[in-house]
Structure 1
Amino acid sequence: MQVRMHRIFDPIPIGRGVRQDDTLSSKLFTYLLEDIMKTVNWSERGVNVNGLYMSHLHFADDLVLVAETAADFQLMLNELHEASGRVGLRMNMAKIKIMTYKLRTPEGRIILCLVVIATAVTAYKNPHYAPGRSVNVHLFEWKWNDIADECERFLGPRGFGGIQISPPNENVVLWTYNRPWWERYQPMSYQLVTRSGDERQFADMVRRCNNAGVRIYVDAVINHMTGEPPENVGTAGNTAVFREWYYPAVPFRSEHFNWPHCVIDGSDYINNAWRVRNCELVGLKDLNQANEHTRNMIVDFMNKLIDLGVAGFRIDAAKHMWPHDLQVIYNRLRNLNTAHGFPANARPYIYQEVIDYGGEAISRDEYTPIGAVTEFKAGMELSNAFRGNNQLRWLSSWGPQWGLLAHSDSLTFIDNHDNERGHGGGGGVLTYKQPRPYKGAIAFLLAHPYGEPQIMSSFAFWDSEIGPPMDHSGNIISPAINSDGTCGNGWVCQHRWRQIFAMVAFRNVAGNTAVNNWWDNGGNQIAFCRGNNAFIAFNNDYWDLNQTLQTCLPAGRYCDVISGEKVGNTCRGKTVTVGNDGRAHINVGANDYDMMLAIHVGPESRL
């Protein structure tokens, strides 16, 4: 491509963007660039073109600054650097190029600078799913061997993009509390031995899942170690001297923790960010991530996992660590392992646990410049709507207009392992225990393009402390796979519910299309298309939805993937006939088993 900036200038060749196959980064860059350019004053800098000053151009994720003098260029570059930093962008100095072009007039010369900064914005926000896949499922407390089997027999064939696993490193064993789930969040060392399996089994799981097209994301507990539990042995057999802050298997000593030792008070969350980040979370010994040795141990642990083939990390308790310390750690991580199918120079996907409903001393916005963030508000708002406490029609503006994070910054979910139990952000969200509205909320989460969605896959519990199904020796009992494809042995396995895995396929077929042809009845009946690929309707009213609606789909017969699967050329659920004009009669009864109907052009739906 060649650009001629003025009739008297030589044409200037512009090469291809650095990531032409990335449809997101250029849009994100444009969005952030608009904010940056509002803060700089270049009205009389740049090149005078017919009385107007042109100071910059951008192509994909490259920014071109245009100046007539070196002095103007230097001022513009300095201002760009400062303005970028204020919105969380970092200029990639290694990729700056300065090029001079001789002009045909005696006025001087033009200096061009290509500044590639979009790479820094999105570096840790790409989950690196295999093509045609989406959705991260949290297989909470599953064993590594069982996860590998599930990748090959179900998740891979069904189009799932990735799995969040439970913490893989050694934790304290707490028989006093009958092996609760939260013992996994009290590290004794970074050795890869837990109830889920050892390092060999972990490596085998990652390899097999990557081969099945399913990525692995590690729940990384790097904020703290244990508290002072009544027992002192870890899942790898290591011990610690709790009252001396000594963990020899790492090793960590007292100087590697924050000092003075203090415990976070409830009021600190409102008015004291320093204590939230430097004191102990519920008495768990708080690591000092500014300490060089502490950083090195954490980086070594995470890099080992990258070498084994993981695609990224959930950063547990990120809110309790300083963003600049986390950034140092992230920047020391290796690129993803190309031997596991990742592209060259790919950075790990980072999504940080920051619980922020507003009104606190720490904001989620402090963490978006360095990675994605868990968007707890999404689950709260959708739970509220699908419970009937807010009308579904308002979801027409779903996304940042609801006070949610920007699309590329957000990891969205209805419930997670904490808040389904009333922990970590509190209760109030829908869970597997309210199946009808829960499935409706998840269906909307997956049908709408906003955010990077994650779904929960639980084990059944009646006590918020109880651990996974286990035998008398504390060994985790594997999920049984029933004849209908659901799970037994105490496992809920929401990812195997037809309504949920069908919506994963729906999302994959919808691809990058936008929401269009929104319809609602002014209350709790809504419907929308995803381009010309997919259509979904919801009914949360007390009366039937009976409408002829625009589906945006090609004429033909479709199987509603919510009410039943397509088997051969037969649909076990409702069928929908779309006319030549794209319209179809849609019926979702108020008393139907599910509150939604979904059809799409994929092989799972088209008859």
Structure 2
Amino acid sequence: MLHLRGRATRSFAAATLAATVLVACGPATDAPEPTSSPSAPAGATDVGVQLFQWSWDAIGRECTDHLGPTGVDWVLTSPPQEHILGAEWWTAYQPVSYQVESRLGTREQFAAMVRTCGDAGVDVVADAVINHMTGQDEPGVGWAGSAYEHYEYPGLYSDADGDFHHCATLDGDIANYYSALEVQTCELVNLADLATETPEVRATIVAYLEDLLSLGVVGFRIDAAKHMAPDDVAAIVDALPADTVVVQEVIRGADEAVQPEQYVASGDVFEFAYGEEIIGYVEGSSFRKVLDLGTGGGYLPDESAYVFVDNHDTERNGSTLRYTDGRAYELATVLMLAGDYGTPVLYSGYAFSDRDAGPPQDGAGRVEDATCAPGVGPDVEPEDGAWVCQHRWPGIAGMVQWRDAAAGGAVGHVQNEPRSTLAYARADRAFLVVNRDDEPVSGTWQTGLAEGEYCDLADGPQRDGDCAGASVAVAADGTTTLTLEPQSFVAIRVAP
């Protein structure tokens, strides 16, 4: 289950950093330390996945068929509230009411999904849009039939009651990101900005979040937290049960007035710098330094950070890698899952060429259940509207098992020759070697593992003791001799 961080504790500890620094300086051919039939710790995975615009029924099936068996710990859903009508993806981020009725399914389907995922050992985190309501200037009717105007939401909010901010900028939108007042009280692209400093607005938001908790979710991604004052977020979060998982969206901008560190008192925060910087390590930066990613300045503390290679915003604005980057995207995800910094969040969406395009929908506007075609992977070029299913790419799914085995194991036997490769062990539990070059690489690497045959998890997760593909031989001295294809990796671990 999802382990609390920020407000409590977490399971996949990065407390081995000091040991990492010491062992990483050893010679590339260090002999393995003596081992007596090592076994991997069970249930230590902290991996989550954002199933962007997946219907509730599809998420439930995915928890049973793939996420639970693979070891994924939690799933992030799209916002479960009534929204404006329209085919675009962003309609889901314009709330009309807090009814749990949307194009992704009914309240009953949402509750059933949460129960199904729980039975599969997968926690559910809901995306909570609480900074704003719609950005529509004309009156309309939402998905569940609720009438609304830009600043009037019957039974919820009214401009006459002071429930919204109004800003003195030219069009009421944020004009200056170096002003915290503008960022947190002006409108974000015309979205009606809630006066979250008022007791009435806070109470309405808390009631909505409590309703979702009553349906079994363990917590929330707080959308657009950056656009609410930290004290406002804290007041809302403090009204929830102490064990509520809270992960806040605060996009880091150089020298801007609002920074992620201002929100850690209320819970954990997404570290956007991670996804932006990891690009360099699969494209040419000093490969060995990826082990230090997240430890320098400009990063949240490890215990407060959630990290990702991409999400639904960054795959559209070009600030990170995305599924079209194929092997480079896969390798970045592998490095994230192999690393110690933060809690990793996988991403899974649909293919698009129009950045506004919504997910596949039927004639009534309901999102069609996501299905993962056989053979999904980094070399597939999906057509627009196809579900990409990155979390099911064999190597990514296999690395979830690798991370489970590696949990808490100190980094050792770091090898960076040739420079296009990076190899290292996690204690006597797991070994990874990555080739980021466009050419094959052959070599012999020290694994730190006991002699034997190991499943290569790059070919997919191990099921019922059987390898999904190739096996890797480790010699008595702990070494393995391999040929790595261009932009590929080999990942082996001690099976539980």
**TM-score normalised per structure 1:** 0.71
Pairing 1:576–2:469 present: no
- Residue of structure 1 in register with 2:59 after alignment: 147
Equivalent residue letter for 2:307:
T
CA contact (8 A) 1:134 1:504 kept: no
Distance 2:272 2:216 in 1: 28
- Residue of structure 2 in register with 1:595 after alignment: 488
- Residue pairs, 1:248-287, within 5 angstroms: 248-254=154-160, 255-260=162-167, 262=169, 268-269=176-177, 271-287=178-194
How far the C-alpha of 1:190 sits from its partner, in A, is 0.8
Counterpart selection for 1:403 from 288, 298, 301: 298
CA contact (8 A) 1:393 1:524 kept: no
- Residue of structure 1 in register with 2:107 after alignment: 199
Please list the CA deviations of residues 183-230 of structure 1 after superposition, one character each: whole Å capped at 9, or x if unmatched.
111111111110011111111111111111001111110100111245
Please list the CA deviations of residues 226-266 of structure 1 after superposition, one character each: whole Å capped at 9, or x if unmatched.
11245611111001132xx2110424444111244655666
Name the CA shift for 1:567/1:226 in 2 (closer, same or farther; >3 Å).
Answer: closer
Distance 1:352 1:541 in 2: 36
Distance 2:152 2:141 in 1: 13
Q: Number of residues paired by the alignment?
A: 458
Pairing 1:464–2:355 present: yes
Pairing 1:540–2:436 present: yes
Distance 2:139 2:312 in 1: 24
Equivalent residue letter for 1:435:
G
- Residue pairs, 1:42-441, within 5 angstroms: 131-174=43-86, 179-230=87-138, 232-242=140-150, 245-254=151-160, 255-260=162-167, 262=169, 268-269=176-177, 271-335=178-242, 347-386=243-282, 388-401=283-296, 403-422=298-317, 427-441=318-332
Distance 1:514 1:531 in 2: 5
Tell me the SS of whatever aligns to 1:523: coil
CA contact (8 A) 2:12 2:45 kept: no
How far the C-alpha of 1:541 sits from its partner, in A, is 2.5
Please list the CA deviations of residues 135-159 of structure 1 after superposition, one character each: whole Å capped at 9, or x if unmatched.
1111111111111111111111111
Q: Which has the higher contact order (CA 8 A, sep 6+)?
A: 2
- 5+ unaligned residues in a row in structure 2: which ranges? 1-6, 17-41
Equivalent residue letter for 1:137:
V
Tell me the SS of whatever aligns to 1:366: helix
- Residue of structure 2 in register with 1:120 after alignment: none
- Residue of structure 2 in register with 1:455 after alignment: 346
Distance 2:112 2:467 in 1: 38
Mean CA deviation greater in 194-203 or 356-365? 356-365
Please list the CA deviations of residues 366-397 of structure 1 after superposition, one character each: whole Å capped at 9, or x if unmatched.
112221111111111112321x1423222132
Distance 1:20 1:316 in 2: 21
Pairing 1:493–2:386 present: no
How far the C-alpha of 1:477 sits from its partner, in A, is 1.4
Tell me the SS of whatever aligns to 1:209: helix
Q: CA RMSD in A?
A: 2.6
Distance 1:139 1:572 in 2: 24
Equivalent residue letter for 1:473:
A
Aligned-pair identity in percent equals 37
Equivalent residue letter for 1:598:
A
Please list the CA deviations of residues 295-320 of structure 1 after superposition, one character each: whole Å capped at 9, or x if unmatched.
00000001111121111111111111
Deviant stretches of 4+, over 4 Å: 19-28, 260-267, 483-489, 564-572
- Residue of structure 2 in register with 1:505 after alignment: 401
Equivalent residue letter for 1:540:
R
How far the C-alpha of 1:523 sits from its partner, in A, is 2.6
CA contact (8 A) 1:415 1:431 kept: yes
Equivalent residue letter for 1:404:
Y
Tell me the SS of whatever aligns to 1:400: coil
How far the C-alpha of 1:23 sits from its partner, in A, is 6.4
Distance 1:554 1:264 in 2: 64
How far the C-alpha of 1:542 sits from its partner, in A, is 4.2
- Residue of structure 1 in register with 2:365 after alignment: 474
Equivalent residue letter for 1:276:
V
Tell me the SS of whatever aligns to 1:151: helix
Distance 1:333 1:20 in 2: 14
How far the C-alpha of 1:268 sits from its partner, in A, is 1.0
Tell me the SS of whatever aligns to 1:205: helix
Name the CA shift for 1:275/1:258 in 2 (closer, same or farther; >3 Å).
Answer: same
How far the C-alpha of 1:26 sits from its partner, in A, is 12
Name the CA shift for 1:545/1:184 in 2 (closer, same or farther; >3 Å).
Answer: same
Name the CA shift for 1:373/1:172 in 2 (closer, same or farther; >3 Å).
Answer: same
Name the CA shift for 1:360/1:135 in 2 (closer, same or farther; >3 Å).
Answer: same
Equivalent residue letter for 1:248:
P
Please list the CA deviations of residues 427-462 of structure 1 after superposition, one character each: whole Å capped at 9, or x if unmatched.
131111111100000000001121100011011111
Distance 2:203 2:461 in 1: 50
